[in-house]
Structures are given as C-alpha cells and as structure tokens.
Amino acid sequence: VRAAVMRAENEPLVIEELTGGSLLGARQVLVQVDATGVCHSDLTILSGAVPLPPPMVLGHEGAGTVLDVGGLVTRVKPGDRVIGTFAPVCGDCWFCLHGEGQYCRNAMSVMLEYPWQQPDGTPVMSMSGLGTFAEQMVCHEWSLVPVESTLPAEQLALIGCGVATGVGAALNTAAVEPGSSVAVIGCGGVGQFVIQGARIAGAAQIIAIDPVEFKRDTAVGFGATDVLDPTGLDVPREVRKLTGRRGADYVFEVLGRSQTMLDAFKATRKGGTCTIVGMASNDDTVTFAANDLYAQGKRLLGCYYGGSQVRRDFQRYVDLAETGRLDIGGVITQRLPLSEVNDAFTAMKSGTAIRTVLTP
C-alpha cells in the first residue's frame, strides 16, 4: 500500500509502497483509510519534540472501512465504518474498568507493533498504533471504534482526535456549566472544538484568543461571543476586563506552551477551572504561583484525549454532528490527496489552515 513515511526528523514525508498488510495477527484488523486529518501532533512527532523512531507512518486522526479481520477479532467485522483511537483501550485493565480508558495499561503493547515493511525489508512502525497517512492501516482491534453513521468520512476522521480532544475537554474534563464564562487560548482545530463543546454545554460567554484573524472569525461562527488578538496584550488582564474583573470560570490552553499555560492559569477566576489541552514538548516546564492553588482555590486540570471514553463517546460525537449540534465539516479548511501531505504541514506552520483532510 501507499503510505506517507517519516524517514527522519524534520524532513518531508516520503510516499512509499509498503508491504505486510496481508499477514494479519489474530487480534489485528485491516482497514481501508477513507479520510485522515492532519493534526499538530503529527508535526510535533515529525519535529522530534516528542521523539519516536523512524521509519514510521504518521497520522493518528482517521476513519475508514474494515476490509479484513484476524481470527480472534470480536469488536469489528468487515464492512464496519470505524474511527481510529490513538489511545487503544483493552476494556479489561484497572483504568478501562474505572472509566479512564485513555490511560489503558495495555495500550503500549499494541502501539509498538511494526505492521509494514519497506521494500528492503525494514520494519515500519505506525504512529499511535494507527498510521492513518496511508491507503490502508493494520491495527489492533483495541485501536478501532465502530460507529453507525451516514456522515462523510472526513468528518468521522476528525472525531478520532480533534473532536474527541476539544469537545471532550469541555464536556468531560472541565464539565462546563450552563451560563458560565469560557476563554480558549489557541483556535486551531482542537481549539475550535473546545469552543463548540462550550457552546453545546450552554456557556453564556466564550472568548476566543488567537493571533490569526480568520481563526478568530471562524470561532465566532462556532459560538465565540468575544475575540482577542493576543499580540502585544496582557491576555489575563484582557480576559478579566471581559469577565467582570474576575477572570473566566473556565480557561482552556490549546497550544501546549508553558507561557500560554501560565496565561491560562492567570486568566482563570478565583475558584475557577484551568484546563490544559495542548500537547507540549518533552523539555518544556511550567511554574505556577503556589498560593494561587491555595488562596485562590484555582483548579488546574490536565486533559488527555478530552477525557473521552472512546467506545462511549465516539458515537456520542457522531450523534451531535448528525443532529447539527456539532459542526465538524466547518473546521475543514483544506482537502488534499495523500501525496500532498507535506503541503498540509506547510499550511499548518503558516497558520493558513485550521484542519486539512487527506484522502488516499
């Protein structure tokens, strides 16, 4: 199959012909990739900020159709529409049994498989056990969630990362209350879904903060009531001005940078909730004023995968989209063939795209 392979850090991906998909393990599934989104985390891996060894098929936000299954597979069958989860869930470990499947104990074992080979026999890993930048993927059944849906594949693809992370951050992690004030720092794909999640939860005020004008405009279309260009501004001060001098009830950081994490914490009102959604670089460190946690009672929440329980929530996000309460298609600003994957990264770096979707 054709796949976009990362051969080295910071080098363009190379379209290669890989083999191996016909040899399915007992719990493995062969999936035809119908669409895949290009997420900032793909760029984070490519840049080496979170080191993973090449060669690797990148891509972790995809949807497709099951072509074939190994002998012991029970969760999916050929013909099923499936969404990939970048956090595999075994269903039986302590975390899976406690409604925190995103931390599944057994996930790593299925993410370190090498399903493909290059023509010279070199084994190739798949990012997060998925590797969606390809015509097909071979993954463990724990990495797939079947859904009932008539949505186009490009929308199902985004549920696998952007929607689950962003909408989940608002609904699951922070549990935004109706009538509350919300500020979102970073209005890329995930940030736009945090904004929509806050709107779905019934927030009265949603402040969208991003230096790129068209991202702020997009945010208004998705429910933002105020916008801020943070360039040269003291963001916490501006947020307090917009929220009765208190700070926002809920602040979300969706960039993964220590400076904006600190801004998010400072922009949170006393007793409010600051949720860190962004994926940071491994060597970044953030320092908070210790007394803000005590005397100001601020709650600081980490957020992995939007707290989504994928086997419960993927269908929930599908249902919200099918009834028009969640706009997934509106976040897609560019559609490209798989062979032009490097152009998607260029657009991401220049801030001219919110979400690019690739089709094989």
- Using CB under 5 A as the binding rule, the residues of this chain from 233 to 252 that contact Zn ion are none
Cα separations (Å) of 6 from 16, 41, 152? 10, 14, 28
Residue 98 CB, nearest approach to Zn ion (Å): 10
> Each residue of 187-220: b (16+ CB within 10 Å) or e?
bbbbbbbbbbbbbbbebebbbbbbeeeebbebbe
CB 325 within 8 A of CB 298: no
- Using CB under 5 A as the binding rule, the residues of this chain from 253 to 312 that contact Zn ion are none
Instruction: Single out the residue of 90, 203, 332, 358 in contact with Zn ion (rule: CB under 5 A).
Output: 90
Instruction: Single out the residue of 96, 163, 338, 347 in contact with Zn ion (rule: CB under 5 A).
Output: 96
CA angle at 255 for the pair 196 and 101, rounded to the nearest 5°? 70
CB 90 within 8 A of CB 104: yes
Instruction: Single out the residue of 66, 104, 262, 344 in contact with Zn ion (rule: CB under 5 A).
Output: 104
Cα gap 140→90, rounded to integer Å: 10
Cα separations (Å) of 210 from 101, 168, 183, 214, 317? 32, 21, 11, 9, 25
Part of the chain binding Zn ion (CB under 5 A), chosen from 92-100, 175-183, 209-217, 293-301? 92-100
Residue 61 CB, nearest approach to Zn ion (Å): 5
Asked whether position 85 contacts Zn ion by CB under 5 A, the answer is: no
Part of the chain binding Zn ion (CB under 5 A), chosen from 28-36, 88-96, 269-277, 320-328? 88-96
Helix (H), strand (E) at residue 356:
strand 355-359
Instruction: Single out the residue of 14, 15, 67, 93 in contact with Zn ion (rule: CB under 5 A).
Output: 93
Instruction: Single out the residue of 28, 36, 41, 273 in contact with Zn ion (rule: CB under 5 A).
Output: 41
Answer positive or negative: Cα dihedral of 345, 347, 350, 352.
Answer: negative
Part of the chain binding Zn ion (CB under 5 A), chosen from 157-165, 244-252, 253-261, 313-321? 157-165
Part of the chain binding Zn ion (CB under 5 A), chosen from 13-21, 84-92, 128-136, 325-333? 84-92
Part of the chain binding Zn ion (CB under 5 A), chosen from 14-22, 34-42, 201-209, 210-218? 34-42
Nearest residue to 58 via CA among 1, 129, 141: 129
Instruction: Single out the residue of 5, 39, 63, 144 in contact with Zn ion (rule: CB under 5 A).
Output: 39
Q: Residue numbers of the site for Zn ion (CB under 5 A)?
A: 39, 41, 90, 93, 96, 104, 161
